[in-house]
């Protein structure tokens, strides 16, 4: 038997990260094993330097400590940036020129969850990489034990300064409400708010792993109620919210309307395309048709791609796209920035645009073509069935001669609009969405989803009360 061997709970090895419930499917031993194996992978690639950060969850300091011990046992020089937003760790990888980086974060999951997001070199570490890490741990396939080192580095000043470098709104004084949701982006948010021109109010600005105000997921309308109320009270120009580790952004306009991820991308893309005419703008398969049409109208090349931050980052590198985004609020700037998802950076770029606009953000939203859509509908489907069901649906649609885009699941185009069915990469669920020009059209699209699900032996989700203007 090898001197080191470790088995992970199989549910913790996900598509984009390693994640589980602390004390049940994730432990300090897991964290050590991740460090031991990841450090071995870096070492075998000729590297020796790894940056590590952690979010504000109660279990994060313990997991970070064990992770660092595992990395050091593989001979790594570990640069510890402390409690920080995930994008600041990505920034650290560039700032220090590291060979890898690991972030301890549960992202927007409930407080008892935690996990690890990684990058190797400057690329995301995901999919087959994560499965391979599990296999190497089980087989004890690691480099010989060595004595690494670790040191603390606070780079919050450097990160904030670099983010602010790309603010281009001049001296116009906007009134802005920020809600980092008691997540690990809270301190950075306060630093940005103090240095940007204008009047800034930060709510839920203390890092607290209990998330006392609301769950830190800005894509859920309920979690934005507090910031919407504050925007109204202040008469603010806009509100900006982050998720638990500040790699996803939520935006509220001056009238308290939620700016969805694809609407935000329209605003950002129009601006980027002024200096990058013809540039490729990538959005995930869940995004509105309005986005793809508006990008084309602004002189860009719209590209629909698979959902998942690691997949989008890889596609950006391949295509040289200056900007990409997901419905979930991951926004990726490669224009002036490094191509990773960074909510504080995206916020600063958005503020620059709003400060230069003659109209309000709500006016921009109101001028976008109107469509009616469902939010993302998620419903349980066994792990071993979810991809099979999508394939069955695709085969039936092909036989019917339907117009289908199959970049990620099936996106079916009809005269009414479109509907989507895809398997989640991270959970035992199927995800559906539909968008139409009229209520009647949307009902027909929803009936189309229900019909296909029932043909595969699944009960259709309850669509009642699920329509929203967009």
Domain containing 402 — which CATH number?
3.30.310.50
The pLDDT value recorded for residue 70 is 98
Residue 392 within a domain: yes
Q: Do 424 and 454 share a domain, yes or no?
A: yes
- If you average pLDDT over every residue of the chain, what do you get? 95
Q: Is the pLDDT of residue 2 over 80?
A: no
Q: Do 43 and 94 share a domain, yes or no?
A: yes
Question: Does residue 59 carry a catalytic annotation?
Answer: no
Q: Do 308 and 169 share a domain, yes or no?
A: yes
Residue 4 within a domain: no
Whether 457 contacts 469, CB under 8 Å: no
Q: How far apart are CA 97 and CA 62, in angstroms?
A: 26
Residue 2 within a domain: no
The pLDDT value recorded for residue 362 is 98
Domain total in the chain: 3
Q: How far apart are CA 249 and CA 258, in angstroms?
A: 11
The pLDDT value recorded for residue 426 is 76
Among 367, 388, 408, where does a domain finish? 367
Among 307, 339, 367, where does a domain finish? 367
Please state, as a whole number, how many other Cβ atoms lie within 10 Å of the Cβ of residue 212: 9
Domain containing 192 — which CATH number?
3.40.120.10
Q: Which residues pair with 241 in a beta bridge?
A: 179, 250
* Tens digits of residue pLDDT in 221-251: 999 999 999 999 999 999 999 999 999 999 9
Residue 52 within a domain: yes
* Tens digits of residue pLDDT in 58-87: 999 999 999 999 999 999 999 999 999 999
Instruction: Read off the pLDDT band of 1 (50, 70, 90).
Output: very low
* Tens digits of residue pLDDT in 299-311: 999 999 999 989 9
For the segment 5-23, the average pLDDT, to the nearest whole number, is 94
* Tens digits of residue pLDDT in 155-197: 999 999 999 999 999 889 999 999 999 999 999 999 999 999 9
What's the domain range around 217?
158-367
Q: Is the pLDDT of residue 458 over 80?
A: yes
Catalytic residue among 27, 60, 107, 310: 107
Distances (CA, A) of 434 to 122, 403, 441, 448: 36, 15, 10, 10
Q: Do 167 and 146 share a domain, yes or no?
A: no
Whether 262 contacts 289, CB under 8 Å: no
Q: Do 139 and 277 share a domain, yes or no?
A: no
């Amino acid at each position: 038997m090898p001197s080191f061997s470790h088995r992970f709970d199989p549910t913790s090895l996900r598509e984009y990260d390693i994640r589980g419930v602390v004390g049940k499917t994730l432990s300090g031993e897991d964290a050590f094993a991740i460090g031991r194996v990841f450090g071995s992978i870096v070492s075998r690639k000729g590297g020796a330097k790894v940056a590590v950060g952690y979010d504000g969850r109660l279990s994060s300091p313990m997991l970070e400590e064990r992770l660092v011990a595992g990395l050091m046992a593989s001979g790594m020089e570990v640069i510890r940036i402390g409690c920080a937003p995930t994008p600041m760790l990505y920034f650290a990888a560039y700032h220090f020129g590291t060979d890898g980086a690991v972030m301890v974060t549960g992202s927007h999951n409930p407080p008892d969850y935690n996990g690890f997001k990684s990058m190797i070199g400057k690329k995301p570490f995901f999919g087959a990489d994560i499965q391979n890490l599990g296999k190497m741990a089980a087989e004890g396939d690691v480099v010989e034990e060595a004595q690494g080192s670790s040191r603390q580095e606070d780079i919050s000043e450097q990160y904030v300064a670099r983010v602010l470098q790309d603010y281009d709104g001049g001296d116009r004084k906007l009134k802005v409400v920020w809600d980092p949701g008691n997540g690990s982006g809270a301190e950075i948010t306060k630093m940005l708010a103090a240095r940007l021109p204008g009047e800034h109010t930060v709510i839920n600005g203390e890092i607290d792993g209990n998330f006392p105000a609301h769950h830190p997921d800005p894509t859920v309308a309920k979690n934005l109620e507090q910031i919407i109320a504050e925007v109204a009270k202040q008469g603010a120009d806009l509100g900006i919210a982050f998720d638990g580790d500040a790699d996803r952004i939520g935006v509220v306009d001056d009238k308290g309307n939620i700016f969805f991820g694809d609407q935000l991308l329209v605003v950002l893309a129009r601006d980027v395309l002024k200096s990058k005419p013809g540039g490729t703008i990538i959005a995930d398969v869940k995004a509105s048709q309005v986005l793809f049409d508006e990008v084309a109208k602004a002189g860009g090349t719209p590209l629909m791609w698979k959902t998942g931050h690691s997949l989008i980052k890889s596609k950006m590198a391949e295509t040289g796209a200056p900007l990409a985004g997901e419905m979930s609020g991951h926004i990726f700037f490669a224009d002036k920035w490094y191509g990773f998802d960074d909510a504080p950076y995206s916020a600063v770029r958005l503020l620059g645009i709003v400060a230069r606009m003659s109209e309000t953000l709500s006016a921009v939203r109101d001028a976008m073509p109107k469509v009616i859509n469902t939010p993302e509908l998620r419903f349980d489907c066994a792990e071993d069935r979810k991809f099979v069901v999508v394939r069955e649906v695709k085969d039936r649609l092909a036989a019917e001669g339907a117009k289908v885009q199959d970049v990620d699941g099936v996106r079916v185009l009809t005269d009414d609009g479109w509907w989507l069915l895809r398997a989640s990469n991270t959970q035992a669920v199927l995800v559906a969405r539909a968008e139409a020009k009229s209520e009647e059209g949307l009902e027909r699209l929803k009936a189309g989803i229900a019909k296909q699900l029932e043909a595969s032996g699944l009960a259709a989700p309850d669509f009642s009360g699920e329509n929203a203007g967009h």
